[in-house]
Chain A
Amino acid sequence: MIVRILGEGQYDLEDHALDALNGLDNQIERAIESGDEAMFRMALEGLLAAVRSSGTHHDPDTLDESDLILPPPDATIEEVRELLGDEGLIPG
């Protein structure tokens, strides 16, 4: 599985390594819903740190698409909302 951290590039990750990060993903979602910047920052940093530590850099000379694209480490809640665009937090 290929994961891109925006502004940092692509990482190769084992599928099961990613499953372990679901808790942090939920936490980020809750933080965005409640506008809790501190909780958001902690969860995002945790998520990105886990990707970096359990992944390896994907070969930059390829044109492979990422399976997952994550916000940059210094993104604010506002910026993540923008990344979500018109769909906001409720999909579809």
Chain B
Amino acid sequence: MSLMKRISLIFRSKANKALDKAEDPRETLDYSYQRQLELLSKVRRGVADVATSRKRVELQVNQIEQQAAKLQGQAEKAIAAGREDLAREALTRKSGLASQITSLKEQQATLQGEEEKLVLAQQRLQAKVEAFRTRKETIKATYTAAEAQTRIGEAMSGIGEEMGDVGLAIQRAEDKTAQMQARGQAIDELIASGALDDASQLSAGDDISRELDALSSGNDVEAELARLKAGSTPQAIEPAQSGDILATEPEAVRTEGENTEGGRA
């Protein structure tokens, strides 16, 4: 186990270096115990932070799923009104949302995984800290400073390794959460701007709209369009509502429709 042996040695030496030694070795015990309690609070905060990020992603998934349902409704209305161009626009937009939802659900799963890992890390550290506390009291009650040295060394390196492990787990969880927060912010802004719920804004041409267009699968749209047309019966044309896809200026939509066709070609 050459490589892994080396990793072990380096990890251990770093963990031991991190533990400051006091003049009276018995003071080292108290000092280290304080550090352990601090690390315990830190890992608890870490769990809470990751949970907050996960809940935020869940909220975004809900919001985007609602938008997708709304666009589906708009497409149905557009077909009923005989406006295939508008229906295509709405379905194209909806198809783009589907990939957003998939990506958000992956993030949600990753954050859930990190959260569970940290909860387990917290439990393991809790057990070690408790063991350390017991050992610390025994050492202080039983041994003189000179005698205590060896036993303190053992207790310290055992807890040091666990602290190094937990410290690394917190750092990894923080890194992953930070990455996702940056992406989450972009989605929040997109939702807030209303760009996701109004197909007429496709022509605004912001980066994410373009990305959504690129992501949308032409085949999915055509298949769903065909399904809608097959299932639709002639109905009275509903009056256009504010913010509704049907309220879009027909001319603008025709232009967008051509753009979309061009993008697929």
Residues of A near any B CB (own CB < 8 A): 4, 6-9, 18, 21-22, 25-26, 28-29, 32, 47, 60-72, 80, 83-85, 87, 89, 91
Contact = CB atoms under 8 A, between A and B. Distances in A.
Interface residues of B, number: 33
Contacts of A29: 2-3
Contacts of A85: 10, 14
Interface string B117-133: 10011011001101110
Contacts of A67: 8
B140 interface: no
Given A25-B2, A63-B132, A63-B135, A9 B157 contact: no
B131 A84 contact: no
B172 interface: yes
B236 interface: no
B124 A91 contact: no
28 contacts: A6-B169, A7-B121, A7-B165, A8-B120, A18-B1, A22-B1, A25-B1, A25-B3, A26-B2, A60-B128, A61-B131, A62-B131, A63-B158, A64-B158, A65-B12, A66-B8, A67-B8, A68-B1, A68-B4, A69-B4, A69-B8, A70-B4, A70-B7, A72-B168, A72-B169, A87-B6, A89-B3, A91-B6
Nearest to A75: B172
Contacts of A21: 1
A29 B155 CA distance: 32
Given A9-B120, A70-B7, 13 more contacts: A7-B121, A7-B169, A21-B1, A25-B4, A29-B3, A61-B131, A63-B131, A63-B132, A65-B12, A65-B154, A66-B8, A83-B11, A85-B10
B174 interface: no
B67 to A, nearest CB: 32
B7 A84 contact: yes
Contacts of B172: 7, 72
Interface string B139-169: 0000000000000001101110100010011
A63 B6 CA distance: 22
